[in-house]
A and B are shown apart, each in its own frame.
Chain A
Amino acid sequence: MNKRSTYLMLSMAVLVSLVLTACGGGAAAPATGGTIKVVSDLPMTGSSLGQTQTIVNGITQAFEATGNKVCGGKWQIQFEAHDDASAALGKWDPDVVTANAKQYAADSSIVAVIGTFNSGAAKLMIPILNPENLAMISPANTYPGLTKPGKGEADEPGKYFPNGTPNYARVVPADDLQGAVGANWAKDLGATSVYILDDQELYGKGLADVFDASANEIGLTVLGHEGIDGKAADYKALATKVNELNPDLIYFGGITQNNAGQLWKDIRNVGYAGLLMGPDGIYEGAFLEAAGDAAEGTYLTFGGVPPSELQGAAATWRDSYKAKFGSDPEVYTVYGYVAGTLLVDALERVCTAGGSPTDRKTVRDAVFATKDFDSVLGKFSIDANGDTTITTMSGSVVENGEFVFSSLLGGG
């Protein structure tokens, strides 16, 4: 298997480097070279796997571009993909996330964590890694409260950082932008009344709340805002209720794994003929499969640009990804790649400054010091909160069972 051969390669590399150091006199100080470990923490059991496997591929690709080495070949990057989901839940599992976080905190050879995928998981992991100054870079979390003061609960994001210094950065734009962009798009599509549903999770409800507030602001009538049980067998009763109110558009803040497909089917089956809109949480192949015909015509917002619409350097990356892994990247894949390259860049800067890439604190500071980093998505910086400065969003629509790019939305 792929993983095994990677291990084999890594262990051989370690062996060779040991022999080399031995030949070189054996007096090597720990700061001049060795192995540093980077882990990814994503849900890889359950239907998210379709998406997360490609993110892991993207990260691997970023590291392999430098031969898994940084600082002029002195330091070897050892990358491990960890799973934070359980079969029992079929999606991210709080118990697994906490156990993983404790393991990363305790393993001093780990210098950075790329993850998590779900905002709810990040909420649990950040406070465990923060006291250890362990840098965390998320390729997918979009809940605003994780980084932005005043955009989430009153005590957010301060409560995630017990030692006072943020250790969490992300390379995707947050949902305070996505929710608002969605509401504006709904208005542009001609809707005057909306009904809002959410899956009662941090990500979904956060998004729906922003959509709700923005919709009120721009003069859309919000007919109601309800939460669904993501595990229920069907939503006929709820769909009947919503259909009677006859909104122009129904917005769902949530993820595929909380039964978006069934919700779509039931809404269409009770005879609702209006517009349906969702966020990037259902912007994946698994949703199309689960919702079937009911997905047709669904509008989707996404805090980035879909793989098919990537331009310039990003398009070159997409083609190289396809050539290497034999399949198209999913929507978050490029962020996995960007997170990987950002980390490599930060480690290089640590070395250039004479620091040691094994020192967690130095690495964390280097990640936060990222300025005008030249990524495949264009130049961006990590601001003091840990957010990317990129704010481009896009809208897509489902046509004939496929996502079709519709328009760029929001800030440039």
Chain B
Amino acid sequence: MRIGQRVLLASVGIYLLLFFGPLAGFDLFRVIGEIANKPSTLLQQLLIGLANGSLLALIALGYTLVYGIIELVNFAHGDVYMLGAFMSLTVIGAFNVDKGSSPAIKATAIVVAFLSAVVFTAGVNALIERVAYRRLRNAPRLAVLISAIGMSFIVQNVGLFWGSLRAFFPIMGVNSAAPKAFPDLIGRIDVFKDILHIDVPIAFNTKDLLVIVMASVLMIGLRLFVQYTKLGKAMRATAENRDAAKIMGIDVDRVISFTFLLGGALAGAAGLLVGLYNNTAVFTMGFTAGLRAFTAAVVGGIGNITGAMLGGMLIGILAAFSDQYFSSRWTNAWVFAVLVMVMVFRPTGLLGESVGQKA
């Protein structure tokens, strides 16, 4: 795009925003007034957005990892994340813990749930790749995409079925499709007021802290892994040029399987965290989360790991701000409007680089 065109587009965009924005709750003067009136709310929503964004980013990483390596939008990924939440719910149910249990039992239950969810979803994701994608490796890209959508439906129905197994897992409740109550295992202790004894009008509790810390650790860990290990190097090589990687002696199929394992593991971790954070697990949760996470991956530049993290945070914060200052009725519209704007000005996403089309 030429500079002149960009300036024109940008001014049209800004004009439309100021003119029609108020219809969707974006009234600049009112928003500025509200922020000036009570700045602590801004910080509060920033924290909420950050926590939600971290969770989105964890899921977005799964999309971006897979896309980076085989250029496939793995639509089943969101649903694999849902299975992660169901697996952790099942394990926690087996421990028979709830709010009142002793901290030691709670911690054990969480650790076991974390491990089983991560192993389970990693396995499921790799299995999906083996069954539904590998045979289509050299087929037209559309075929794999449709196959991915099909897997998404299958996994969603597995979740629905799982929810009906109350005879084996009483924690699933009486209604197969209803949202399941996820036990509230992490206490809600205010970090500022009760631990640091600082009097601020912002609520930030141990749950938010856990989510942000866990998500950050996982994301940074992944970043380091891909950057500095041999396997990470193989992943990057495969992403760069599959044929050349093969020539250099890299077992491409194994690397791809491993990528799916890794993505699935992150989805499982996200499933457990969301369960602990929102205290709900429902079989449709993967679809919406998947959609937003995919948007986050695209905004950040799909295929780019740092980009997915950035996109997740950005969308989490934007959604929180829209709920507070614009109108929650329009939150989804704002999120996707930002996606459109990013795509117009940077078609490869915020941090994406244009990669040559692979044969």
Cβ-neighbour of A238 out of B55, B176, B181, B328 (below 8 A): B328
**Which of chain B's residues have a CB closer than 8 A to the CB of A232?**
288, 331
Cβ-neighbour of A286 out of B175, B284, B331 (below 8 A): B175
Contact across chains for A271 and B203 when beta carbons are under 8 A apart: yes
Measured CB to CB, the closest approach of chain A to B82, in angstroms, equals 11
Given A50-B174, A241-B324, A233 contacting B278 (CB threshold 8 A):
yes
Contact across chains for A289 and B175 when beta carbons are under 8 A apart: yes
Q: Which of B178, B203, B319 is the most central at the interface, judged by chain A CB atoms within 10 Å of its CB?
A: B178
Q: Does A152 contact B (CB under 8 A)?
A: no
Cβ-neighbour of B178 out of A228, A231, A290 (below 8 A): A290
Give residues of chain A (161-197) contacting chain B, Cβ–Cβ below 8 Å.
Answer: none
**Which of chain B's residues have a CB closer than 8 A to the CB of A54?**
none
**Which of chain A's residues have a CB closer than 8 A to the CB of B49?**
237
**Which of chain A's residues have a CB closer than 8 A to the CB of B176?**
47, 49
Contact across chains for A292 and B279 when beta carbons are under 8 A apart: yes
Give residues of chain A (205-260) contacting chain B, Cβ–Cβ below 8 Å.
Answer: 226-229, 231-238, 240-241, 244, 256, 259
**Which of chain B's residues have a CB closer than 8 A to the CB of A261?**
178-179, 181, 280
Binds B, one of A6-14, A262-270, A312-320: A262-270
Contact across chains for B279 and A265 when beta carbons are under 8 A apart: yes
**A89→B177 CA distance, assembly (Å):** 11
Measured CB to CB, the closest approach of chain B to A267, in angstroms, equals 13
Measured CB to CB, the closest approach of chain A to B291, in angstroms, equals 9
Cβ-neighbour of A226 out of B51, B55, B174, B328 (below 8 A): B328
User: What range describes how many residues of A lie at the interface?
Assistant: 35 or more
Q: Does B332 contact A (CB under 8 A)?
A: yes
A-B contact pairs, 17 of them (CB 8 A): A47-B175, A88-B156, A88-B287, A231-B284, A231-B288, A234-B52, A234-B277, A235-B328, A237-B321, A237-B324, A238-B324, A240-B45, A265-B279, A269-B188, A270-B203, A286-B178, A289-B181
Cβ-neighbour of B48 out of A49, A90, A240, A244 (below 8 A): A240
Give residues of chain B (175-233) contacting chain A, Cβ–Cβ below 8 Å.
Answer: 175-181, 188, 203
Q: Which of A45, A227, A236, A266 is the most central at the interface, judged by chain B CB atoms within 10 Å of its CB?
A: A236
**A265→B52 CA distance, assembly (Å):** 16
**A270→B38 CA distance, assembly (Å):** 17
Contact across chains for A229 and B177 when beta carbons are under 8 A apart: no
Give residues of chain B (153-181) contacting chain A, Cβ–Cβ below 8 Å.
Answer: 153, 156-157, 160, 173-181
**Quick one: CB contact mask for B271-296 with A, threshold 8 Å, 1 for yes?**
00010011110111101110000000
Contact across chains for B329 and A200 when beta carbons are under 8 A apart: yes
**Which of chain B's residues have a CB closer than 8 A to the CB of A47?**
175-179
Cβ-neighbour of B179 out of A88, A89, A237, A262 (below 8 A): A262
**A42→B46 CA distance, assembly (Å):** 42
**A290→B281 CA distance, assembly (Å):** 9
Given A262-B179, A285-B175, A237 contacting B48 (CB threshold 8 A):
yes
**A289→B163 CA distance, assembly (Å):** 13
Cβ-neighbour of A236 out of B52, B274, B284 (below 8 A): B52
**Which of chain A's residues have a CB closer than 8 A to the CB of B153?**
87-88
Q: Does A158 contact B (CB under 8 A)?
A: no
**Which of chain A's residues have a CB closer than 8 A to the CB of B323?**
235, 237-238, 241
Q: Does B305 contact A (CB under 8 A)?
A: no
Cβ-neighbour of A244 out of B41, B160, B288 (below 8 A): B41
Residues of B within 8 A of A (CB-CB), count: 46
Q: Does A274 contact B (CB under 8 A)?
A: no
Q: Does A46 contact B (CB under 8 A)?
A: yes
Given A87-B156, A289-B181, A237 contacting B45 (CB threshold 8 A):
yes
Measured CB to CB, the closest approach of chain A to B273, in angstroms, equals 11
Residues of A near any B CB (own CB < 8 A)? 45-50, 87-90, 200, 226-229, 231-238, 240-241, 244, 256, 259, 261-262, 265-266, 269-271, 285-286, 289-290, 292
Contact across chains for A262 and B280 when beta carbons are under 8 A apart: yes
Q: Does B348 contact A (CB under 8 A)?
A: no
**A234→B157 CA distance, assembly (Å):** 23
**A373→B323 CA distance, assembly (Å):** 49
Residue of B nearest to A261 (CB): B179
Q: Does B309 contact A (CB under 8 A)?
A: no
Contact across chains for B181 and A262 when beta carbons are under 8 A apart: no
Contact across chains for A226 and B175 when beta carbons are under 8 A apart: no
Given contacts A227-B328, A233-B285, A262-B280, 13 further A-B contacts (CB under 8 A): A46-B177, A47-B175, A48-B177, A87-B157, A226-B327, A226-B329, A227-B327, A229-B331, A233-B55, A234-B277, A261-B179, A289-B173, A289-B180
Measured CB to CB, the closest approach of chain A to B331, in angstroms, equals 6
Measured CB to CB, the closest approach of chain B to A296, in angstroms, equals 13
Q: Does B147 contact A (CB under 8 A)?
A: no
**A226→B325 CA distance, assembly (Å):** 12
Measured CB to CB, the closest approach of chain B to A400, in angstroms, equals 16
Contact across chains for A228 and B283 when beta carbons are under 8 A apart: no
Measured CB to CB, the closest approach of chain B to A115, in angstroms, equals 19
Contact across chains for A290 and B328 when beta carbons are under 8 A apart: no
**A235→B181 CA distance, assembly (Å):** 16
Cβ-neighbour of B278 out of A228, A237, A265 (below 8 A): A265
Give residues of chain B (253-282) contacting chain A, Cβ–Cβ below 8 Å.
Answer: 274, 277-280, 282
Residue of A nearest to B324 (CB): A241
**Which of chain A's residues have a CB closer than 8 A to the CB of B277?**
234
**Which of chain A's residues have a CB closer than 8 A to the CB of B280?**
261-262, 265, 290
**Which of chain B's residues have a CB closer than 8 A to the CB of A227?**
327-329
**A271→B278 CA distance, assembly (Å):** 15
Measured CB to CB, the closest approach of chain A to B216, in angstroms, equals 19
**A74→B55 CA distance, assembly (Å):** 64
**Which of chain A's residues have a CB closer than 8 A to the CB of B331?**
229, 232
**Which of chain B's residues have a CB closer than 8 A to the CB of A90?**
160, 177, 282-284
Measured CB to CB, the closest approach of chain B to A191, in angstroms, equals 22
**Which of chain A's residues have a CB closer than 8 A to the CB of B180?**
289-290
**A232→B316 CA distance, assembly (Å):** 12
Given A240-B41, A240-B324, A233 contacting B178 (CB threshold 8 A):
no
**A130→B117 CA distance, assembly (Å):** 51
Query: Which 5 pairs between the two chains have the least Cβ-Cβ distance?
Result: A237-B323, A227-B329, A47-B178, A237-B320, A286-B178
Measured CB to CB, the closest approach of chain B to A117, in angstroms, equals 14
**Which of chain B's residues have a CB closer than 8 A to the CB of A228?**
328-329
**Which of chain A's residues have a CB closer than 8 A to the CB of B328?**
226-229, 235, 237-238
**Which of chain A's residues have a CB closer than 8 A to the CB of B174?**
50, 285, 289
Contact across chains for B175 and A50 when beta carbons are under 8 A apart: yes
**A229→B291 CA distance, assembly (Å):** 13
Residue of A nearest to B51 (CB): A236
**Which of chain A's residues have a CB closer than 8 A to the CB of B38?**
244
**A235→B45 CA distance, assembly (Å):** 11
**Which of chain B's residues have a CB closer than 8 A to the CB of A226?**
327-329
Measured CB to CB, the closest approach of chain A to B166, in angstroms, equals 11
**A274→B288 CA distance, assembly (Å):** 30
Residue of A nearest to B207 (CB): A269
**A410→B329 CA distance, assembly (Å):** 31
Given A261-B280, A285-B174, A236 contacting B48 (CB threshold 8 A):
yes
